[in-house]
Amino acid sequence: MVIFIPFCLYFFFYRHYRLLEEVRNMLESKFQSRLIKDVKSLFPGCIVTKSDCNYIQGIPDLLILYGSKWATLECKQSLRAKKQPNQSYYVDRMNEMSFSRFICPENKEQVLEELSLYFAN
């Protein structure tokens, strides 16, 4: 009985943790889908592509091509969301080359405003 209870607790919390991860991923995915629609309406004629996270770990999620300029956005569920290895490196590096930001629901308006200014210049 003593061994059974800790195992049940472990199983319960493990399943609960996995469900939370799935919900988080779903929320980030919905945010990303909505963001793509917003970017396409803000910048008519732009091309938005999604990166393959299995190709180079840390490359930002979205590449936006608009006119002769480009930008990348790394989507996060929230400002406090954990960053994966190399994400900060690639966002900083691509920001030196062009425009790159972490974006989440809390800072979405600010980032899109900065992106508008960048594409306008």
For 1, the token pair is: 């009985």
What pLDDT is attached to residue 17?
57
Per-residue pLDDT at 85: 87
Instruction: List the domain range (segments joined by +) for residue 93.
Output: 4-120
Flag whether pLDDT at 13 surpasses 80.
Answer: no
pLDDT band, very low/low/confident/very high, at 54 (cuts 50, 70, 90): confident
- Tell me the C-alpha distance between 28 and 42, whole Å: 21
Dump pLDDT digits (tens) for 85-101: 899 999 999 999 999 99
| Least confident interval from 13-17, 68-72, 74-78, 86-90 | 13-17
Q: State pTM to two decimals.
A: 0.78
Which CATH number does the domain housing residue 27 bear? 3.40.1350.10
Phi, psi of 103 (to 5 degrees): -135, 140
Contact (CB, 8 A) for 31 and 105: yes
Mean pLDDT taken over the chain: 87
Residue-wise over 35-47: b if at least 16 C-beta within 10 A, else e?
bbeebeeebeebe
Q: How many CB atoms lie within 10 A of CB 65?
A: 14
Determine the pLDDT at residue 26: 55
Query: How many distinct structural domains can be found in the chain?
Result: 1
